[in-house]
A = this chain, B = another copy of it.
Amino acid sequence: MSNSTSTQIHLARRPQGWPTHDDFRTVTVVHPELSPGEVRVSNEFVSVDPYMRGRMNDVRSYVAPYALGEVIAGGAIGRVVASAAVELPVGTVVLHQHGWADGVQAPAASFRAVPEVPGVPSSLRLHILGMTGLTAYVGLTAIADLREGDTVFVSGAAGAVGTAVGQIAKLLGAKRVIGSAGTAEKAALLTEKYGYDAAFVYKDAPVREQLAALAPEGVDVFFDNVGGDHLEAALDVMNDGGRLALCGAIAGYNTTERVPGPDNLANIITRGLEVTGFTLAAYLHLAPEFTERMTGWFAEGRIAYDETVVDGIENTVDAFLAMMRGANTGKMLVRVSGAPA
């Protein structure tokens, strides 16, 4: 087998505020001959996710920052095209974290073979049946301790995580699920497709007012992807003993100045609230439980999803920025093809 090349997207410098193309660099790498135990993978889909913005900063976190001059790591799925590892023969579909590239060559242990199941597109392993779905599940169960009859509020509900949260919450017995979205079309999707009982467009009026109107009996569980005014609005209406799972704070990801927090944090005390932040790294032990339940629900036709697909590894940064602006409904993915051979 001859050498081949892959196109990678590297972090060239740390973004200040909104990332620009100058913060990234497209690099062509030449793969040498396979060493024993290595495989070469041609990617089919690459994931762009909100949490990646945080890793572009040099701040302390459960997850290490991206190194400058290296590829942006993250979820991707592809197929083995060359193998020097018996456990991953050519043709195997594999999930991995090698990130923004159209292909990758690495030790077999850094890939995980996934079964090809009729009726289950492989891209779903990057969202509803993968980390995205697991994030929703962990937040609702391990973090927010969702109970039957709870009222749930989800911010940024039309995103990849949010569309999963609404459906899983209903499947787990939530009485009422309320979501916020960026456009009227997305809000409509929430109630028509994703099982939400009510939805509002956060740009239409203050979140505080809209949420209070839609949650006359209060909120027991808040699943937060946005932060800022959404967190403040939730704190207004949380019921005593309510639980807040903080998953993301996209509202603040691209701000350069420090933004003050909600003015009603005292409600945490007077109402006995539990506010818990989480990243998935500490909860991967729940993946088997999640996979069993989620694949069951999926097989029963009870899980809807959307994908917003951008073609071409060279458009990955555009896809990432569009996702940060909320241009996607459901999961934003980059479809790649053809490299390496």
Contacts and interface: CB of A to CB of B under 8 A. Distances in A.
Contacts of A227: 265-266
Interface residues of A, number: 38
Contact of A271 (B62, B241, B268): B62
A205 interface: no
Counting chain B CB atoms within 10 Å of each CB, the highest count among A54, A231, A269, A277 belongs to A269
Contacts of A63: 270
A61 interface: yes
Contact of A261 (B261, B270, B277): B261
A275 B271 CA distance: 13
B249 A61 contact: no
A247 interface: yes
Number of copies: 2
Interface in A242-265: 246-249, 252, 258-265
A268 B275 contact: yes
A59 interface: yes
A8 B273 CA distance: 34
Interface string A59-93: 11111000000000000000000000000000000
B260 A248 contact: no
A217 to B, nearest CB: 13
A276 B249 CA distance: 19
Contacts of A306: none
Interface of A: 54, 59-63, 227, 231, 240-241, 246-249, 252, 258-279, 282
Which 7 pairs across A and B sit closest by C-beta, in order of nearness? A261-B261, A260-B260, A268-B277, A269-B277, A258-B263, A61-B270, A275-B275
